[in-house]
Protein backbone atom coordinates (compact mmCIF):
# COMPACT_ATOMS: atom_id res chain seq x y z
CA UNK A 1 0.00 0.00 0.00
CA UNK A 2 2.94 2.34 0.66
CA UNK A 3 4.28 1.80 -2.87
CA UNK A 4 0.83 2.37 -4.32
CA UNK A 5 0.09 5.67 -2.59
CA UNK A 6 3.52 7.16 -1.87
CA UNK A 7 5.83 5.58 -4.44
CA UNK A 8 8.72 3.15 -4.10
CA UNK A 9 9.96 2.50 -0.57
CA UNK A 10 13.17 0.60 0.18
CA UNK A 11 11.75 -1.09 3.28
CA UNK A 12 14.09 0.69 5.71
CA UNK A 13 11.91 2.30 8.42
CA UNK A 14 14.47 5.09 8.80
CA UNK A 15 13.34 6.38 5.40
CA UNK A 16 9.63 5.88 6.02
CA UNK A 17 9.03 9.04 8.08
CA UNK A 18 12.14 11.17 7.48
CA UNK A 19 12.70 14.58 9.01
CA UNK A 20 12.26 17.50 6.67
CA UNK A 21 15.53 18.96 5.31
CA UNK A 22 14.88 22.11 7.33
CA UNK A 23 14.74 20.07 10.55
CA UNK A 24 17.52 17.60 9.83
CA UNK A 25 20.06 19.94 8.18
CA UNK A 26 21.14 21.80 11.38
CA UNK A 27 21.93 18.47 13.02
CA UNK A 28 24.04 17.34 10.06
CA UNK A 29 25.90 20.68 9.98
CA UNK A 30 26.60 20.49 13.71
CA UNK A 31 27.90 16.92 13.46
CA UNK A 32 30.09 17.80 10.44
CA UNK A 33 31.83 20.53 12.43
CA UNK A 34 30.09 23.63 11.14
CA UNK A 35 29.89 25.64 7.95
CA UNK A 36 33.63 26.34 7.50
CA UNK A 37 34.53 22.65 7.40
CA UNK A 38 31.65 21.84 5.07
CA UNK A 39 32.60 24.62 2.65
CA UNK A 40 36.26 23.57 2.70
CA UNK A 41 35.32 19.97 1.95
CA UNK A 42 32.83 21.13 -0.67
CA UNK A 43 35.55 23.07 -2.50
CA UNK A 44 37.80 19.99 -2.47
CA UNK A 45 35.02 17.84 -3.94
CA UNK A 46 34.18 20.38 -6.64
CA UNK A 47 37.84 20.74 -7.56
CA UNK A 48 38.07 16.94 -7.84
CA UNK A 49 35.00 16.81 -10.07
CA UNK A 50 32.92 15.03 -7.44
CA UNK A 51 30.01 17.37 -7.94
CA UNK A 52 27.23 15.07 -6.72
CA UNK A 53 29.09 14.36 -3.49
CA UNK A 54 29.58 18.10 -3.04
CA UNK A 55 25.85 18.74 -3.40
CA UNK A 56 25.14 16.16 -0.70
CA UNK A 57 26.88 18.18 2.01
CA UNK A 58 26.40 21.70 0.65
CA UNK A 59 22.66 21.24 0.27
CA UNK A 60 22.42 20.48 3.99
CA UNK A 61 24.39 23.60 4.80
CA UNK A 62 22.13 25.79 2.66
CA UNK A 63 19.05 24.39 4.42
CA UNK A 64 20.64 24.97 7.82
CA UNK A 65 21.89 28.45 6.91
CA UNK A 66 19.71 29.91 4.12
CA UNK A 67 21.54 33.23 4.37
CA UNK A 68 25.01 31.77 3.83
CA UNK A 69 25.99 33.34 0.49
CA UNK A 70 29.25 31.43 0.17
CA UNK A 71 27.48 28.09 0.61
CA UNK A 72 24.84 29.03 -1.98
CA UNK A 73 27.43 30.06 -4.56
CA UNK A 74 29.43 26.87 -4.08
CA UNK A 75 26.32 24.68 -4.25
CA UNK A 76 25.31 26.53 -7.43
CA UNK A 77 28.73 25.73 -8.94
CA UNK A 78 28.29 22.04 -8.10
CA UNK A 79 24.74 21.97 -9.50
CA UNK A 80 25.88 23.71 -12.68
CA UNK A 81 28.80 21.42 -13.39
CA UNK A 82 26.83 18.28 -12.64
CA UNK A 83 23.97 19.55 -14.79
CA UNK A 84 26.28 20.12 -17.76
CA UNK A 85 27.23 16.43 -17.62
CA UNK A 86 23.66 15.15 -17.97
CA UNK A 87 22.42 13.80 -21.28
CA UNK A 88 18.80 14.09 -20.17
CA UNK A 89 17.48 17.60 -20.78
CA UNK A 90 15.06 17.25 -17.85
CA UNK A 91 17.84 16.43 -15.41
CA UNK A 92 20.12 19.10 -16.86
CA UNK A 93 17.45 21.78 -16.64
CA UNK A 94 16.66 20.91 -13.02
CA UNK A 95 20.27 21.35 -11.93
CA UNK A 96 20.81 24.51 -13.97
CA UNK A 97 17.55 26.05 -12.78
CA UNK A 98 18.56 25.38 -9.16
CA UNK A 99 21.94 27.01 -9.78
CA UNK A 100 20.25 30.10 -11.23
CA UNK A 101 17.88 30.31 -8.27
CA UNK A 102 20.73 30.06 -5.75
CA UNK A 103 22.66 32.85 -7.44
CA UNK A 104 19.95 35.36 -8.27
CA UNK A 105 16.73 34.24 -6.59
CA UNK A 106 13.53 32.96 -8.16
CA UNK A 107 13.31 34.04 -11.80
CA UNK A 108 10.67 36.71 -12.21
CA UNK A 109 8.46 37.28 -15.22
CA UNK A 110 4.98 36.79 -16.52
CA UNK A 111 3.02 34.13 -14.58
CA UNK A 112 2.25 30.87 -16.30
CA UNK A 113 -1.18 30.66 -17.91
CA UNK A 114 -2.27 27.13 -17.12
CA UNK A 115 -6.00 27.75 -17.55
CA UNK A 116 -6.11 28.52 -21.27
CA UNK A 117 -9.45 27.96 -23.05
CA UNK A 118 -8.04 25.04 -25.06
CA UNK A 119 -6.75 23.37 -21.88
CA UNK A 120 -10.05 23.78 -20.08
CA UNK A 121 -12.09 22.49 -23.01
CA UNK A 122 -9.93 19.36 -23.16
CA UNK A 123 -10.02 18.77 -19.39
CA UNK A 124 -12.42 16.12 -18.03
CA UNK A 125 -14.67 17.53 -15.32
CA UNK A 126 -13.40 14.86 -12.89
CA UNK A 127 -9.88 16.23 -13.32
CA UNK A 128 -11.05 19.74 -12.45
CA UNK A 129 -12.79 18.44 -9.35
CA UNK A 130 -9.55 16.65 -8.41
CA UNK A 131 -7.79 20.00 -8.81
CA UNK A 132 -10.28 21.62 -6.42
CA UNK A 133 -9.39 18.88 -3.95
CA UNK A 134 -5.73 19.85 -4.26
CA UNK A 135 -6.56 23.52 -3.67
CA UNK A 136 -8.58 22.72 -0.54
CA UNK A 137 -7.01 24.15 2.61
CA UNK A 138 -7.76 21.44 5.17
CA UNK A 139 -7.44 23.91 8.05
CA UNK A 140 -10.21 26.10 6.65
CA UNK A 141 -12.38 23.06 5.87
CA UNK A 142 -12.14 21.63 9.38
CA UNK A 143 -15.59 20.82 10.74
CA UNK A 144 -17.37 21.35 7.41
CA UNK A 145 -19.33 18.59 5.71
CA UNK A 146 -21.65 18.66 2.71
CA UNK A 147 -22.56 16.85 -0.51
CA UNK A 148 -23.08 18.51 -3.91
CA UNK A 149 -24.57 16.88 -6.98
CA UNK A 150 -23.43 18.32 -10.31
CA UNK A 151 -25.46 17.69 -13.47
CA UNK A 152 -24.23 18.58 -16.98
CA UNK A 153 -27.32 18.00 -19.13
CA UNK A 154 -25.77 18.95 -22.48
CA UNK A 155 -23.14 16.20 -22.27
CA UNK A 156 -25.11 13.75 -20.13
CA UNK A 157 -22.69 13.77 -17.20
CA UNK A 158 -23.43 13.46 -13.50
CA UNK A 159 -21.00 13.92 -10.63
CA UNK A 160 -21.06 14.10 -6.87
CA UNK A 161 -18.73 16.15 -4.66
CA UNK A 162 -18.34 15.39 -0.97
CA UNK A 163 -16.51 17.43 1.64
CA UNK A 164 -15.81 15.52 4.84
CA UNK A 165 -12.87 15.12 7.20
CA UNK A 166 -11.27 18.20 5.58
CA UNK A 167 -11.03 16.34 2.25
CA UNK A 168 -12.87 16.98 -1.02
CA UNK A 169 -13.62 13.89 -3.09
CA UNK A 170 -15.64 13.32 -6.25
CA UNK A 171 -17.20 10.42 -8.14
CA UNK A 172 -18.40 10.52 -11.72
CA UNK A 173 -21.52 8.81 -13.04
CA UNK A 174 -23.44 8.82 -9.78
CA UNK A 175 -25.65 11.13 -7.72
CA UNK A 176 -26.16 11.37 -3.98
CA UNK A 177 -29.67 10.49 -2.77
CA UNK A 178 -29.91 13.45 -0.38
CA UNK A 179 -27.45 16.19 -1.42
CA UNK A 180 -27.15 19.54 0.28
CA UNK A 181 -27.04 21.21 -3.14
CA UNK A 182 -27.60 20.24 -6.76
CA UNK A 183 -25.93 22.30 -9.49
CA UNK A 184 -27.33 21.95 -13.00
CA UNK A 185 -25.18 23.64 -15.63
CA UNK A 186 -24.13 23.01 -19.24
CA UNK A 187 -20.53 22.03 -19.81
CA UNK A 188 -19.86 25.19 -21.86
CA UNK A 189 -21.13 27.40 -19.02
CA UNK A 190 -19.13 25.40 -16.48
CA UNK A 191 -15.95 26.07 -18.43
CA UNK A 192 -16.25 29.79 -17.71
CA UNK A 193 -16.27 28.91 -14.01
CA UNK A 194 -13.32 26.57 -14.48
CA UNK A 195 -11.33 29.43 -16.04
CA UNK A 196 -12.31 31.69 -13.11
CA UNK A 197 -14.02 34.14 -15.42
CA UNK A 198 -17.22 33.88 -13.40
CA UNK A 199 -18.80 31.97 -10.51
CA UNK A 200 -21.59 29.47 -10.07
CA UNK A 201 -23.67 32.15 -8.36
CA UNK A 202 -23.19 34.55 -11.26
CA UNK A 203 -24.09 31.86 -13.78
CA UNK A 204 -27.24 31.10 -11.79
CA UNK A 205 -28.17 34.78 -11.66
CA UNK A 206 -27.74 34.95 -15.45
CA UNK A 207 -29.97 31.91 -15.97
CA UNK A 208 -27.08 29.69 -17.13
CA UNK A 209 -27.19 27.45 -14.07
CA UNK A 210 -29.70 26.22 -11.51
CA UNK A 211 -28.92 25.83 -7.82
CA UNK A 212 -31.33 23.60 -5.92
CA UNK A 213 -30.77 23.38 -2.19
CA UNK A 214 -28.43 25.18 0.17
CA UNK A 215 -26.35 27.50 -2.03
CA UNK A 216 -24.30 28.58 1.00
CA UNK A 217 -22.25 25.38 0.78
CA UNK A 218 -20.76 26.79 -2.45
CA UNK A 219 -19.56 29.85 -0.55
CA UNK A 220 -18.09 27.56 2.08
CA UNK A 221 -16.30 25.49 -0.56
CA UNK A 222 -14.86 28.48 -2.39
CA UNK A 223 -13.79 29.99 0.91
CA UNK A 224 -11.71 26.90 1.63
CA UNK A 225 -9.73 26.98 -1.62
CA UNK A 226 -6.14 28.22 -1.47
CA UNK A 227 -4.40 30.38 -4.05
CA UNK A 228 -1.02 28.94 -4.93
CA UNK A 229 1.96 31.27 -5.34
CA UNK A 230 3.62 30.28 -8.62
CA UNK A 231 6.86 31.93 -7.51
CA UNK A 232 7.64 29.42 -4.78
CA UNK A 233 11.24 28.71 -3.84
CA UNK A 234 12.84 25.35 -4.49
CA UNK A 235 15.80 26.08 -2.24
CA UNK A 236 15.55 28.02 1.03
CA UNK A 237 16.15 31.75 1.11
CA UNK A 238 15.95 32.26 -2.67
CA UNK A 239 12.56 33.98 -2.67
CA UNK A 240 13.83 36.67 -0.35
CA UNK A 241 16.85 37.15 -2.62
CA UNK A 242 14.62 37.72 -5.63
CA UNK A 243 12.63 40.38 -3.78
CA UNK A 244 15.73 42.46 -3.01
Q: What one-character DSSP code corresponds to residue 138?
A: T
Whether residue 243 is predicted with pLDDT greater than 60 in this model: the reply is no
Q: Does domain 117-223 have CATH number 2.40.30.30?
A: no
Domain range list for the chain = 2-104, 117-223
Radius of gyration of the chain (CA): 24
Distance CA 174, CA 160 (A): 6
For residue 242, the model assigns a pLDDT of 47
For residue 219, the model assigns a pLDDT of 93
Which alpha helices (DSSP H) does 32-88 contain, by range? 35-47, 51-64, 69-84
Tell me if 51 sits within 8 A of 78, measured CB to CB. yes
Query: How long is the chain?
Result: 244
User: Can you tell me whether residue 106 is helix, strand or coil?
Assistant: coil
Angle at 103 between CA 88 and CA 35, to 5 degrees: 100
- pLDDT per residue over 16-29, tens digit each? 888 999 999 999 99
Whether residue 115 is predicted with pLDDT greater than 80 in this model: the reply is no
pTM, entire model: 0.68
For residue 201, the model assigns a pLDDT of 93
Output the CATH code of domain 2-104. Answer: 1.25.40.880
DSSP string, 164-178: ETTEEEEEES---SS
Distance CA 105, CA 116 (A): 28
Amino acid sequence: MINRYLGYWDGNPATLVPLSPRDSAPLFVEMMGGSEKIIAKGRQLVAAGQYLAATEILNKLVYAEPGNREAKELLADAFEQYGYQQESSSLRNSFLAAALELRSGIPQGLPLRVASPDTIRAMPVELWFDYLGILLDSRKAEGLAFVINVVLPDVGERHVLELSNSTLTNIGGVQAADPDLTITIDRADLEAVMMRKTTFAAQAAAGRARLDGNAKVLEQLMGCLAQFDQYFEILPGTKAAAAQ
